Amino acid sequence: MNTALKHWKEAATVILAAGMKRGPVAEPPWRAADRASVPHGSAFDYSVLLLKRSGRSGFMPNAYVFPGGLAEASDFSPEWVELFEPFRNLPNFGVGVVKQPLETRPPIFATDRVKLGSPVPGDVAFRICAVRETFEEAGVLLVVPRKEAHRLAADHDDLSRSSPTALPELCDRGEIARWRSLVIQSSSNFIRMCRELQCLPNIWAMHEWGNWLTPTGLSGRRRRYDTAFYLCCLEEIPDTVQDEKEIVHFEWSTPSEILSSYLERKLWIAPPQFYDLGRMSHIPLLSDLHDFAKRRSVEGCEQWLPVYLAATDGHISLLPGDSMYPKNPEYTEETNSSAAPEKCREELLKGSPNLHRIVIQDLYTASVYMNITPKYKHLPPLTSSALNNQSKHDSKL
């Protein structure tokens, strides 16, 4: 891990999508009321895992988030080299190398970890982090038996093969619960668990999706994270739990249901979740989502630092490519905002030929405006007009 970073803490998160093969997911109480806007209707055959953070959390209390958390020294431990020994001669232990030139890669991926004292590549360590955090926070163990890992590594390199992941049954639930408790106590126990259970973190099921930096300049926020985002598709919804400490509730819902509930003020999701769920809303079938994520992940991604822009009736989160996005955003200062005369959100939209922004009226009212082509063959999110059109369509049903 990069302990030299002064302003950011490195982290990893996973967008976990799972097929609904066990029948319809139980509808939680907060979604029992009427539905106002459900993008793409009920066409989804998969759900996405959201975890509700505790109200006592120091970062985004009460928010529904994807599983993930801070990278630990153990995620970069040389002990992983021994466990991944059969894959040491493969690029990034079989995960492969993206097409994106190294000089344009986000620093979290481009940093030479050997110079920081770790023989584990960042592309591997942050996947390990995402797997470990998902186990700690939700009890979902994204591992593969060592004897099956070679097949997965081969399938990962072949874009024409593989399908959503099936989770193995390594031992009984009591044993898994015991190990989870130990890993929560110390992240280094995750290495010990993998060694004793003869399994490996399924790094090959983690497909690079994006890289978000916590924005500065809002509410005196001092906790900033440089987070690697991955997407993983599972065949079916696994057994899921919460720790009742940092995480107080879990929910499996379709992207459309989550966006609908957010706009109806029934739950709160942060802008990255709002944006990425909008991306996923274009792909309602799990098999298609898996194929897209796998093929797209070899292209690379951008590092996104949202830049705060005040409006008289809300604020705007500018993203790279927007006409008003600063050429050289300040990554290290306590505040990072783009200067603009006092104008309302609508006026700021009219003055920008290239749009890539999240327009926020209040905590539960957000819209994405984008008229540029996403880089690295990625999907655009659902824009404001798409959400509004779908809402009108649903109201007629």
Full-model pTM? 0.89
In a domain, 141, yes or no: yes
**Which of 297, 315, 345 delimits the end of a domain?**
297
Res 333: pLDDT = 55
Same domain, 237 and 366: no
Q: How many other C-beta atoms are found inside a 10 Å radius of the C-beta of residue 273?
A: 23
Same domain, 230 and 351: no
In a domain, 269, yes or no: yes
Domain that holds residue 320: 303-374
8 A C-beta contact, residue 226 and residue 11 = yes
Q: How many other C-beta atoms are found inside a 10 Å radius of the C-beta of residue 380?
A: 17
Give the model's confidence band at 23: pLDDT under 50 very low, under 70 low, under 90 confident, else very high. Answer: very low
Q: What is the DSSP code (8-state) at residue 45?
A: S
Same domain, 310 and 198: no
Q: Helix, strand, or coil here: 130? A: helix
Question: Average pLDDT for residues 369-396, to the nearest whole number?
Answer: 74
In a domain, 393, yes or no: no
Any idea of the CA torsion for 302, 105, 110, 157, to the nearest 10 degrees? Answer: 90
- Residue 239 in this model has a pLDDT that exceeds 70: yes
Same domain, 352 and 242: no
Q: How many H-runs (helices) and E-runs (strands) does the chain carry? A: 11, 14
Q: How many other C-beta atoms are found inside a 10 Å radius of the C-beta of residue 8?
A: 19
**Which of 297, 326, 355 delimits the end of a domain?**
297
Tens of pLDDT, residue by residue over 250-301, are: 999 999 999 999 989 999 999 999 999 999 999 999 999 999 999 999 999 9
Same domain, 49 and 118: yes
Least confident of 40-54, 208-222, 242-256: 208-222
Kindly provide the b/e burial profile for residues 204-236, where b requires at least 16 CB atoms within 10 angstroms of the residue's own CB.
Answer: bbbbbbbbbbbbbbeeeeeebbbbbbbbbbbbe
In a domain, 248, yes or no: yes
**Which of 242, 274, 297 delimits the end of a domain?**
297
In a domain, 383, yes or no: no
User: Which CATH number do you get for residue 165?
Assistant: 3.90.79.10
8 A C-beta contact, residue 39 and residue 72 = no
In a domain, 397, yes or no: no
Same domain, 227 and 349: no
Same domain, 71 and 120: yes
Same domain, 44 and 147: yes
CA–centroid distance for 226 within its chain: 12
Radius of gyration of the chain (CA): 21
Res 311: pLDDT = 85
Same domain, 57 and 120: yes
| Beta strand pairing call for 303-304 and 207-213 | parallel
Any idea of the CA torsion for 335, 339, 341, 342, to the nearest 10 degrees? Answer: -20
- Residue 41 in this model has a pLDDT that exceeds 70: no
Same domain, 283 and 347: no
CA–centroid distance for 316 within its chain: 22
Same domain, 328 and 228: no
8 A C-beta contact, residue 276 and residue 86 = no
8 A C-beta contact, residue 98 and residue 208 = yes
Same domain, 211 and 272: yes
Residue percentage of the chain with pLDDT more than 70: 83
Number of independent structural domains in the chain? 2
User: Using a CB cutoff of 8 Å and minimum separation of 24, what contacts does 157-160 make?
Assistant: 157/94, 157/96, 159/294, 159/295, 159/298
How far is the C-alpha of 192 from the C-alpha of 292, rounded, in Å?
34
User: What DSSP string describes 299-358?
Assistant: T---EE--EEEEETTEEEEE-TT-TTS-SS--SSSS--B----S--HHHHHHT-SS-EEE
Q: In what order do the strands lie in the sheet with 365-370?
A: 307-311, 314-318, 356-362, 365-370
In a domain, 381, yes or no: no
Give the model's confidence band at 31: pLDDT under 50 very low, under 70 low, under 90 confident, else very high. Answer: very low
In a domain, 94, yes or no: yes
